[in-house]
Amino acid sequence: MKTTIGLLLATVESMLGKSKRAYCTLYHTLFT
């Protein structure tokens, strides 16, 4: 179970990292 949680966290973290970059780009496109 610990392995599953670790894998899930790693996946979420990588998704958030990509999303953060996408949101920054979107934000700058819309608000500048």
In tens, the pLDDT along 1-32 reads 688 988 988 888 888 888 888 888 888 888 87
Tell me the one-letter amino acid at 31: F
Tokens (6 digits) for 2 = 């610990």
Collapsed DSSP state (helix, strand, coil) of residue 1: coil
The count of structural domains within the chain is 1
Distance (Å, whole) CA 8 – CA 13: 8
Give the global pTM: 0.46
Distance (Å, whole) CA 20 – CA 11: 14
The domain in which residue 11 lies consists of 1-32
pLDDT given at position 4: 93
